[in-house]
Structure 1
Amino acid sequence: MRSLSQYLLSCFLLLLLLDWVFAGRDGLTIKLIHRDSIESPLYPGNLTMEQRIVRLNQQSKARLEQMALVAAMTRTAATPNQTIDPNGIIHAPVTLQGIFYLALVGIGTTKVEPYPYFESYYFLVDTGSSVTWTQCEGCNPCFYQKPPFFPYRKSTTFSESLCDSEGQCEFGTCEEGKCTYTLEYGSGAITEGGLGFEKFTFNSNDGGVEAFDQLRFGCGFKQSNFDFELADPMQNEIVGILGLGRGPTSLPNQLQFSDFSYCLRPWYNEGGVQEISTFLRMGNDARFQGGETIHTTPLAPHGSHYFVTMVGISFQGVRLPIEASAFARTPDGKGGCLLDTGSPWTVIQRKEYDIVRAAMQTYFRDFNVAQLPLDQGLFDLCYINPNQEEIPYPSMTFHFHQTDFEIDENQLFVNLEDGFCLAVGPHDHDYFSVLIGNHMQTNRRFIYNTEYNFLAFAREDCKLAS
């Protein structure tokens, strides 16, 4: 039975959610384009279901490798999203291969009719770092991009970030009276340049635009080792990175939005990966549609991620023999459960995963299916269904502190041409115990509140209003 304090906390959080709906705070909605979407300049072509799954497996493996890098870098991090060495170089704990969304953003103001005029560019969206930057006119060396480099000298709304009277910068390093930055990614890519302020323009829900002045960003003059995995690099339209991490220079923090939400569309519907773009909603735009039960659980921010307290797993309504301590976050930054939109699949530490796997094997022994012995990439448990019989999939629930996360069957399994696989795999890292990937998060709206540190979620058809 829930304690009085838990009941009062739930009431308080629900009042906050109602405040989001009725309060008059400003908001912002940014369309996030999945890198494999037909809308993306990185679109890989019309893939078959098997090709999509292979690609998603590759992306999941790359993401897990990135997480290992995150663990190594953020345990000694100087800020929530990055480490800074004595030379002022910012080390972002991400690789470009671990970035899965893009955004089309307008920068600057130029005296071109109709005035004011701005140019829109494709940015990779990086939730692991807090610096937004683009290649600027005059850069050398630069990676190739089809659009012209940002003409900051011609923008009437651009201003440089200058050092203070003591030769210091609030962010970055002071060089010849101006604030500069150096950003090094885990993949070895490096960008260097000057910090400045500029107007950024985003498309709004009603077909218009929303502009925000004096946002801090990096004007990149030296870029090296960038690879966007294009068959023809001369077709590249990516111009830089949009930083959505937890640091003070990130876009949400500069706009002073303490809450944000997303609702991920399934990639497996008709049209497949072409439909999986979504929207990041901030401030007053982050709200529930209504009609569904809202679940809340506390957040525990760490590094660039938000952890929730997981206390157990149930299979077919029966609690599995896994202690809550197996999912606990330790003081030295190990373990815990996190939700990650950058990873396609859900993974569980191998010891606890083996218990889930054994329960699944026991369940499917009662049906006319054969377990596949072959390696299916990230998938560790697959079955062939030779007669294409309709098989009832089992249920599974993740138990969070104060609420439950019930997993739908199409989030727990992936159907193949002649069988199916458990869409959960094992991992051997210690940075987290459980990572809930975007496939398991589909058709739910998640709202993160960073002021009171709680996560709220409810079921929603994300195709209607993601």
Structure 2
Amino acid sequence: MEQRLVVLVLAIASLYACPAAPAFVGDDDVRVALKHVDSGKQLSRPELIRRAMQRSKARAAALSAVRNRASGRFSGKNNERQQTPPTGVPVRPSGDLEYVVDLAIGTPPQPVSVLLDTGSDLIWTQCAPCASCLTQPDPLFAPGESVSYEPMRCAGQLCSDILHHSCERPDTCTYHYNYGDGTMTMGVYATERFTFTSSDGDRLMTVPLGFGCGSMNVGSLNNGSGIVGFGRNPLSLVSQLSIRRFSYCLTSYASGRKSTLLFGSLSGGVYGDATGVQTTPLLQSLQNPTFYYVHLTGLSVGARRLRIPESAFALRPDGSGGVIVDSGTALTLLPGAVLTEVVRAFRQQLRLPFANGGNPEDGACFLVPAAWRRSSTTSQVPVPRMVFHFQGADLDLPRRNYVLDDHRRGRLCLLLADSGDDGSIIGNLVQQDMRVLYDLEAETLSFAPAQC
């Protein structure tokens, strides 16, 4: 009996020291609902997109900070090296993210709403007692009320994977994690049971995960209680569960319908009999290993492929440039010179003037002719088609994925913005009403039109 007890204790100890074991075999997949951060606020589509534009600005600055730090680039404004955080503190893009996942943590489970981020790795939530916490929709996670909560030992593999960790408490891993927008979380790195449920409340899976239990948090959590990183590094959900594939289908902001996230082996596929599935390789950067890069070769507006060199989208050895696919950014962000060419092409083909006195946060907007404004609030000015050309795949965008019709202001706006450096980001507006599949075994990204 004593021998069995010793074996049980050792098994539990090894679980809490390092929870990373492949969790998905066969068809053990999970499908959960994604809720947009502004859902239920009774806002019009233009209002929803204007709010998303503001968040994209913060996200663009955060992503630019990450790329510039990794490549050691100089700031174009003052020709001085951009400020970097203290040695050992990771910088990840946060900004105000876009989609929330409802799950539960602990035994018994406590509900938590976390923001989905394909551009970062750490899984964390705010914890009680909290020295400094941000406003959130849920009660703080109370580790003292969970029998499965266990601080991770410093010998745990995931503790050493946190660039800035310490062991000031006896054999307890503590962490400090910064995001590019100034959001910061500090606390105990621990292991806990995470429960994923379906949109109708059915329990789908309960697994042990390493996570940050934040008691000192600063910055922004837009309608969430924490962040779940879906990046490529060891701390992420993808890595801890050895997820082979994940997929999402994002609905229009104004549709009122929830989006969906699937992850696991997805051995049964996600497209069924769908036609028009296209696939392009995923690329990786040693300097920015978290991100999902793709090879964009060019852009078309109307029937004309723009004279933009492929090098404008290239991922360089120093980590600069490149094109990231990101769920946490609304707008598609392009380098300034590329954006100028795209806007020029639209203006030439639309033959419309720029809107006077427009808010610069709204991006490139054109004044709609009075005849169109008077005809109907649902009428739309014909616009040229827009196509993203990837290696081996062409993404021919639906109109609503790159154009905002702002009838109240009599304007038509492109859902594009300046990235702030020489990198690009494929945002979630472009990805709406598409089934997007990240295959981490084949190192490919696939997409196809879908009724999400």
The TM-score, its normalising length taken from structure 1, stands at 0.77
Alpha-carbon contact 1:370-1:385 (below 8 Å) kept: no
Q: Does residue 406 of structure 2 align to residue 412 of structure 1?
A: no
Alpha-carbon contact 2:96-2:220 (below 8 Å) kept: no
Which stretches in structure 1 are left out of the alignment for 5+ residues? 1-22, 39-44, 77-82, 111-117, 230-236
Which stretches in structure 2 are left out of the alignment for 5+ residues? 1-24, 73-83
SS in 2 for 1:242: strand
Q: Distance in 2 between matches of 1:74 and 1:25?
A: 38
SS in 1 for 2:284: strand
Residue 15 of structure 1 is matched in structure 2 by none
Alignment of 1:183-202 (within 5 A): 183-202=177-196
Please report how far the alpha carbon of residue 428 of structure 1 lies from its aligned counterpart in structure 2 after TM superposition.
5.8
Residue 364 of structure 2 is matched in structure 1 by 380
The verdict on how the C-alpha distance between 1:146 and 1:297 changes in structure 2, with shifts beyond 3 A counting, is: closer
Q: Residues 360-418 of structure 1: CA distance to partner in whole angstroms, max 9, x if unpaired?
A: 222223xxx55423334332141212112664322221211112111222223211216
The verdict on how the C-alpha distance between 1:414 and 1:238 changes in structure 2, with shifts beyond 3 A counting, is: closer
Alpha-carbon contact 1:413-1:420 (below 8 Å) kept: no
Q: Distance in 2 between matches of 1:442 and 1:170?
A: 34
**Aligned pair partner of 1:343 in 314, 326, 329:** 329
Amino acid at match of 1:338: I
**Aligned pair partner of 2:197 in 193, 200, 203:** 203
Please report how far the alpha carbon of residue 209 of structure 1 lies from its aligned counterpart in structure 2 after TM superposition.
0.5
Amino acid at match of 2:432: T
SS in 1 for 2:66: helix
Alignment of 1:310-325 (within 5 A): 310-325=296-311
Residue 240 of structure 1 is matched in structure 2 by 226
Please report how far the alpha carbon of residue 454 of structure 1 lies from its aligned counterpart in structure 2 after TM superposition.
0.8
Q: Distance in 2 between matches of 1:165 and 1:94?
A: 26
**Aligned pair partner of 2:346 in 360, 366, 377:** 360
Please report how far the alpha carbon of residue 151 of structure 1 lies from its aligned counterpart in structure 2 after TM superposition.
3.2
Amino acid at match of 2:143: Y
Q: Distance in 2 between matches of 1:274 and 1:296?
A: 29
Structure 1 vs Structure 2 CA RMSD: 3.0
Alignment of 1:245-394 (within 5 A): 245-267=231-253, 272=254, 274-275=256-257, 277-285=258-266, 287-302=270-285, 303=288, 304-365=290-351, 370-376=353-359, 377-388=361-372, 391-394=381-384
The verdict on how the C-alpha distance between 1:355 and 1:178 changes in structure 2, with shifts beyond 3 A counting, is: closer
**Aligned pair partner of 1:225 in 191, 201, 218:** 218
Alignment of 1:68-107 (within 5 A): 68-75=64-71, 90-95=89-94, 97-107=95-105
SS in 2 for 1:363: helix
**Aligned pair partner of 1:34 in 13, 33, 36:** 36
Alpha-carbon contact 1:372-1:381 (below 8 Å) kept: yes
In the alignment of these two chains, the number of paired residues is 400
Amino acid at match of 1:62: A
Please report how far the alpha carbon of residue 84 of structure 1 lies from its aligned counterpart in structure 2 after TM superposition.
9.2
Please report how far the alpha carbon of residue 119 of structure 1 lies from its aligned counterpart in structure 2 after TM superposition.
1.7
Alpha-carbon contact 2:185-2:218 (below 8 Å) kept: no
Q: Distance in 2 between matches of 1:305 and 1:68?
A: 13
Alpha-carbon contact 2:405-2:413 (below 8 Å) kept: no
Please report how far the alpha carbon of residue 61 of structure 1 lies from its aligned counterpart in structure 2 after TM superposition.
1.6
Please report how far the alpha carbon of residue 158 of structure 1 lies from its aligned counterpart in structure 2 after TM superposition.
2.4
SS in 2 for 1:325: helix
Residue 443 of structure 1 is matched in structure 2 by 433
SS in 2 for 1:69: helix
The TM-score, its normalising length taken from structure 2, stands at 0.79
Alignment of 1:87-166 (within 5 A): 90-95=89-94, 97-110=95-108, 118-143=109-134, 147-164=138-155
Q: Distance in 2 between matches of 1:144 and 1:414?
A: 31
Q: Distance in 1 between matches of 2:221 and 2:155?
A: 37
Amino acid at match of 2:252: P
Q: Residues 444-464 of structure 1: CA distance to partner in whole angstroms, max 9, x if unpaired?
A: 1110112221111111111xx
Q: Distance in 2 between matches of 1:170 and 1:240?
A: 20
Q: Distance in 1 between matches of 2:199 and 2:29?
A: 11
